[in-house]
Amino acid sequence: MWIESTIAMRFLRQGKAQTLLILVGIAVGVAVIVFVVALIAGLQANIIERTLGTQAHIRIEAPEEVNRIAPPPPGALQLVLEDRRAQSLRPINNWQQLRDVLERLPGVTAVSPVVSGPAFGRRGDAVASVALVGMDLSRYLRVIPLDRNMIDGRLDVGSGNAVIGRQLANDLGLRTGSKLRLEAGDGRDAIVNVAGLFELGVRELDARYVYLDLKQAQSLLGLPGGVTVIDVTVDQLFAADQVAAHIAGLTGVHAESWMESNAQLMNALSSQSMSTNMISFFVAISVALGIASVLAVSVSQRTREIGILRAMGTRRGQMLRVFLVQGAVLGLVGSAIGALAGWSLVAAFNNFGPGLFYIPMPPALVPAAMALATAAGVVAASVPASRAARLDPVEAIRYG
């Protein structure tokens, strides 16, 4: 390989202008790929983080109540007119055991039982419809970082205390230390002390959520000892649907992953990824075509030299490799420059950009882009290289 690389490097150095131009071309292409891929990855991570800041990865509920229809006697035809049953607020059976099973599942990092149901919040004449959320605070915080979203007071849900959203506080004219009357129907009501205010940044939640401890919420909702939802966090975000399916299959409960609850978001994310891949693909193609055309010109310019090298004993395979090495070197060096440029763009975006979100640099991106460009260089070089290898020395020397 020594002589092939030596000739290849000399050829590249001799055609300085061509080499520099194509290196700039490759570098621009790779910089675009690196920056766009990092930007979109960062954007998606940001969107997902914001979405999942207020949601569990998997939400487990009791199975739906369905009508049981007796099978017809043999030979009889049965016509069924079925009304769906109203889904009453009901607890998950044996939730303590279920919680313990979930905690031992591989890939599950946090499990938080929650009792949740509708109620009215009242202060004087003002009434607001609210969602009661009763939870075990230490478990709940591992699923949703409520502590990071507190804007006033303290995060305390025990012994007659509640934490409510900023919007709800505005609507009912409440502030930290105020009293709030909660009515859950059937004469079950309670007066709680507003211990603190949170702001999750989602209007719907900030206007409706009232956090209580499990016991208070259970007694208000008439479900003593029961929970209606188990929130689960997993370590592999994008494996949540598989874990959810596993849980449903294992325990018979209804388990929904964040991907199902946010199908539209998932759709948008995958469309975005697809367009990133398309951009990368077409940029890679144009980079490869650039390398191919530069080397094709080089083969034409050097036809005589190739002929003389063949005459003095250079084998076809060696001639082929001389040009493949040039393609690989162009791809490698161009992409190294391009990766550096792309990385600088990312750094510039993070430091001087609009500051909307932070783009982390995926560690595999630079080596992957360089490997891709080098491979593209070799593939692109293969056409001119095989033309060089096939040159008939007689023709090449006479007419080259």
Partner 1 sequence: MAEPREVMRLENLRKSYNVGRPNEVEVLHGIDLRVDSSDFAALVGPSGSGKSTLLNQIGLLDTPTGGELYLLGEPTSRMDDHARTAARGRHLGFVFQFHHLISAFTALENVMMPMMVSHGRPDRETSDRARSLLADVGLEKFADRRPTELSGGQQQRVAIARALVTRPALLLADEPTGNLDTRTAADVFKLFRRFHETHGCAVLLVTHDPRLAETCDRTITLVDGRIVN
Under rule CB under 8 A, residue 303 binds partner 1: no
Minimum Å gap between C-beta 24 and partner 1 is 22
Q: Compute φ and ψ for 344, nearest 5 degrees.
A: -65, -40
Q: Alpha-carbon distance 239 to 286, whole Å?
A: 35
Contact 235, 120 (CB under 8 A): no
Under rule CB under 8 A, residue 316 binds partner 1: yes
Identify which of residues 99 and 310 has a Cβ nearer to partner 1 in the complex. 310
Under rule CB under 8 A, residue 3 binds partner 1: yes
Minimum Å gap between C-beta 297 and partner 1 is 15
Minimum Å gap between C-beta 366 and partner 1 is 32
Which of 139, 181, 215, 304 binds partner 1 (CB under 8 A)? It is 304
Under rule CB under 8 A, residue 2 binds partner 1: yes
Under rule CB under 8 A, residue 11 binds partner 1: yes
Which of 279, 305, 371, 383 binds partner 1 (CB under 8 A)? It is 305
Which of 24, 308, 361, 379 binds partner 1 (CB under 8 A)? It is 308
Span from 8-16, 48-56, 107-115, 268-276 in contact with partner 1 (CB under 8 A): 8-16
Under rule CB under 8 A, residue 16 binds partner 1: no
Which amino acid is it at 308?
I
Under rule CB under 8 A, residue 318 binds partner 1: yes
Under rule CB under 8 A, residue 312 binds partner 1: yes
DSSP H helices, the chain, are 2-14, 16-52, 95-104, 137-143, 166-172, 203-208, 214-221, 240-251, 258-261, 263-301, 303-311, 316-352, 365-390, 393-399
Under rule CB under 8 A, residue 384 binds partner 1: no
Measured N-to-C along each axis, helices 16-52 and 365-390 cross at an angle, to the nearest 10 degrees, of 150
Measured N-to-C along each axis, helices 16-52 and 316-352 cross at an angle, to the nearest 10 degrees, of 50
Under rule CB under 8 A, residue 310 binds partner 1: yes
Under rule CB under 8 A, residue 17 binds partner 1: no
Which of 233, 314, 335, 374 binds partner 1 (CB under 8 A)? It is 314
Under rule CB under 8 A, residue 14 binds partner 1: yes
Contact 39, 275 (CB under 8 A): no
Query: Do β-strands 161-165 and 189-198 pair in parallel, antiparallel, or remain unpaired?
Result: parallel
Tokens of 62: 């009791």
Identify which of residues 11 and 349 has a Cβ nearer to partner 1 in the complex. 11
Span from 16-24, 121-129, 300-308, 380-388 in contact with partner 1 (CB under 8 A): 300-308
Minimum Å gap between C-beta 395 and partner 1 is 10
Identify which of residues 18 and 314 has a Cβ nearer to partner 1 in the complex. 314
Query: Do β-strands 58-61 and 229-234 pair in parallel, antiparallel, or remain unpaired?
Result: antiparallel
Which of 313, 354, 355, 363 binds partner 1 (CB under 8 A)? It is 313
Minimum Å gap between C-beta 289 and partner 1 is 25
Look at the block and give the residue holding tokens 């230390």: 177
DSSP state of 92: P
Identify which of residues 53 and 400 has a Cβ nearer to partner 1 in the complex. 400
DSSP states along 134-185: EE-HHHHHHHS-GGGGEEEE----STTEEEEEHHHHHHHT--TT-EEEEE-S
Q: Alpha-carbon distance 89 to 72, whole Å?
A: 31
CA distances to 38, 47, 106, 316, 348 from 359, rounded to whole Å, are: 7, 12, 30, 48, 10
Under rule CB under 8 A, residue 393 binds partner 1: yes
Which of 248, 266, 361, 397 binds partner 1 (CB under 8 A)? It is 397
Contact 38, 364 (CB under 8 A): no
Identify which of residues 12 and 143 has a Cβ nearer to partner 1 in the complex. 12
Q: Alpha-carbon distance 396 to 225, whole Å?
A: 91
Which of 236, 315, 347, 360 binds partner 1 (CB under 8 A)? It is 315
Which spans of this chain sit near partner 1 (rule: CB under 8 A)?
2-3, 6-7, 10-11, 13-14, 304-305, 307-316, 318, 392-394, 397-398
